[in-house]
Amino acid sequence: MGEDDRILPGTSLTMEHKEKGMWKGRFACKILKFTVVMLLFSGLFSSRVALAAEARLTDIVVTNTREHLLVYFSVIDCFTENMERAIENGISTTFTFFIRLYEVRDWWWDKDLADLKVSHEIKYDNLKKVYMVRLSSKDNKVIYVKDFDEAKKLMSEIVGLKVTELRNLQRGNHYQISMMAELDKIRLPFYFHYVFFFLSLWDFETAWYTVDFRY
């Protein structure tokens, strides 16, 4: 051990206390960081649950033309302020709707008559200042609108969707039509991950709504 390496009396004890103090400080810092992250995640998760519980279907109508059974409905409380901001930044967003039709049979399993899945997609063109809404419920029709409220209305409404042909139904029989809506998981471009990272944790899914009817 050289002259510079000699340990002065009491030095090792002092250094040990310093190392323990630094270790305790780092440990406390890690606990604090972990706690903050957990609280943040908990808050985001709670917000996700609360938001998902708000989205619901309304204005449900089941009717028919001379040849087809039709359904109308809307999903409300499905847009949040953060989601609208993301859309206005050009992030594509898709709502998916599920519609199922059954024949209810008292002494046997219910009979599946239709199982439909349609989607509405919105994307904002910042150069043209228009919203593009693609409706698979209308044969993938693309509608361009400048008003955001009009675009949201197109996104959230199912209007006169053909569920099945009337020839598939029997007069006097009991039927059920069920429907629900959900927000597809938003895929963020890499450069938006830090700005809109919360959207990757958020989605909505309504409950199933069922209408009974006789043909």
Residue 32 in this model has a pLDDT that exceeds 80? no
Is residue 176 a contact partner of residue 163, using CB atoms and an 8 Å limit? no
Q: 214 by DSSP, 3-state: which?
A: strand
Model confidence band, residue 189 (pLDDT cutoffs 50, 70, 90):
low
Asked if residue 23 has pLDDT above 60, the reply is: no
Helix (H) or strand (E) segment spanning residue 45: helix 11-54
**Span 135-147, mean pLDDT?**
95
Residue 28 has pLDDT above 80, yes or no: no
Q: Is the pTM of this model over 0.85?
A: no
pLDDT at 17 over 60: no
Tokens 């399993």 found at:
109
pLDDT of residue 188: 55
pLDDT (mean) for 147-151: 96
Q: How confident is the prediction for the chain on average, in pLDDT?
A: 76
- Phi, psi for 85 (deg, rounded to 5): -65, -40
Ranges 105-109, 186-190, 197-201: which has the least confidence: 197-201
Q: What does the pLDDT read at residue 6? A: 42
Confidence at residue 106, expressed as pLDDT on a 0 to 100 scale? 84
Give the rounded percent of residues in the chain with a pLDDT score beyond 90: 52
